[in-house]
């Protein structure tokens, strides 16, 4: 709606995880480094946690873009699947056609695929997003897939990505074996005030925003305070700010402007 007014090529604050807008804040960069290290060193289990909207799915996509062609990847976005459907989804993502859709046949087909990859010098990664929603039985099945190993390394690297409840789930007594196997962990933290400023600037630049369009220091402070540095909330508020800015025909986002937007988002009808 406001794109033409601000001469933007694209909407800068969409709430999708478009890799073109990726901003590698220190915490996102560190998360990626941990993931790449764990995968390249074939560490087996890796766990990434972070608050709702902190950028975990965005990280998964960024990771996939950064893995080399010798790394085969399966990405599971629907973690609530029951065991067989989960195995089916994993097989399908790896391009495996199982003989039958039973648990045994699927596990054998996946294991065969992993051995083939090993013989070709390839690595294999299974990324499970929203892993906090997985059933304990599904987590246990995934652990069994990770059992295949040589003397030195794991054949399948498994990345569990989830909200902080994932940590609690991994504390369940029946999952102690899995928990012990997690070799790399990282918690994606929220952005600092300075990082919020860089984040907003980055997204505006990618969207082709002109130099006159600015978020003032006070505005950044108010955004940081309201959103707690959570990217999805920043996007929602910044999008609102641009929409209101367009209505008011201004290129300057100052603290009062942001405060009014916050009130509007909170449902107080002041304009």
Ligand X SMILES: Nc1ncnc2c1ncn2[C@@H]1O[C@H](COP(=O)(O)OP(=O)(O)OP(=O)(O)O)[C@@H](O)[C@H]1O
Nearest 5 degrees, angle CA 192-CA 194-CA 195? Answer: 65
Strand partners for 156: 124
State yes or no: residue 111 binds Mg ion (CB under 5 A): no
What is the chain's length?
271
Buried b (16+ CB within 10 A) or exposed e, 147-159: ebeeeeebbbbbb
State yes or no: residue 221 binds ligand X (CB under 6 A): no
Work out how close the CB of 131 gets to ligand X at its nearest, in angstroms, rounded to a whole number.
Answer: 10
State yes or no: residue 204 binds ligand X (CB under 6 A): no
Work out how close the CB of 240 gets to ligand X at its nearest, in angstroms, rounded to a whole number.
Answer: 14
State yes or no: residue 57 binds ligand X (CB under 6 A): yes
Which tokens go with 215? 């978020």
- Comparison of 59 and 114: residue with beta carbon closer to ligand X: 59
Provide DSSP, 138-206.
HHHHHHHHTT-B-SS-BSEEEEEEE-THHHHHHTSGGGHHHHHHEEEEEEEPPPPHHHHHHHHHHHHHH
- Comparison of 43 and 56: residue with beta carbon closer to Mg ion: 56
Q: For Mg ion, which stretch binds (CB under 5 A), given 22-30, 49-57, 185-193, 212-220?
A: 49-57
Q: What is the dihedral of CA 160, 164, 165, 171, to 10 degrees?
A: 70
Nearest to 206 by CA among 8, 28, 62: 8
State yes or no: residue 57 binds Mg ion (CB under 5 A): yes
Work out how close the CB of 16 gets to Mg ion at its nearest, in angstroms, rounded to a whole number.
Answer: 11
- Comparison of 128 and 145: residue with beta carbon closer to Mg ion: 128
Q: For Mg ion, which stretch binds (CB under 5 A), given 20-28, 53-61, 142-150, 262-270?
A: 53-61
- Report the residue number whose CB is nearest to ligand X: 55
Torsional class of 51: left (φ above 0), alpha (ψ -120 to 50), beta (otherwise):
beta
The correct pick among 163, 166, 224, 257 for binding ligand X (CB under 6 A) is 163
Q: Taking CB under 6 A as the rule, which mask of x and - marks residues 85-114 in contact with ligand X? A: ------------------------------
State yes or no: residue 55 binds ligand X (CB under 6 A): yes
Task: Tell me which residues touch ligand X (CB under 6 A).
Answer: 15-17, 21-23, 25, 28, 50, 52-58, 163, 231-232, 235
Task: Tell me which residues touch Mg ion (CB under 5 A).
Answer: 56-57
């Amino acid at each position: 709606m406001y794109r033409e007014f601000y001469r933007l090529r694209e909407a800068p604050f969409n709430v999708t995880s478009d890799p073109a807008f990726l901003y590698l804040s220190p915490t996102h960069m560190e998360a990626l480094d941990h993931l790449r290290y764990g995968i390249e060193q074939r560490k087996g289990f890796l766990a990434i946690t972070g608050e709702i909207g902190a950028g975990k799915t965005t990280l998964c996509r960024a990771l996939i873009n950064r893995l080399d062609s010798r790394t085969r990847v399966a990405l599971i976005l629907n973690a609530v699947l029951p065991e067989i459907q989960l195995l089916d989804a994993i097989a399908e993502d790896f391009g495996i056609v199982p003989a039958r859709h039973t648990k045994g046949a699927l596990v054998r087909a996946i294991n065969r695929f992993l051995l083939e990859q090993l013989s070709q010098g390839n690595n294999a990664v299974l990324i499970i997003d929203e892993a906090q929603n997985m059933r304990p039985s599904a987590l246990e099945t995934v652990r069994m897939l990770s059992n295949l190993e040589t003397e030195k390394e794991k054949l399948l690297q498994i990345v569990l990505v989830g909200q902080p409840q994932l940590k609690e789930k991994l504390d369940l007594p029946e999952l102690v074996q899995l928990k012990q196997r997690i070799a790399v962990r990282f918690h994606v933290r929220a952005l600092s005030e300075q990082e919020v400023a860089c984040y907003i600037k980055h997204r505006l630049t990618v969207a082709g925003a002109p130099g006159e369009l600015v978020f003032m220091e006070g505005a950044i402070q108010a955004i940081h305070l309201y959103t707690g540095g959570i990217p999805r909330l920043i996007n929602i508020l910044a999008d609102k700010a641009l929409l209101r800015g367009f209505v008011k025909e201004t290129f300057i986002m100052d603290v009062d402007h942001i405060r009014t937007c916050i009130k509007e988002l909170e449902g107080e009808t002041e304009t």
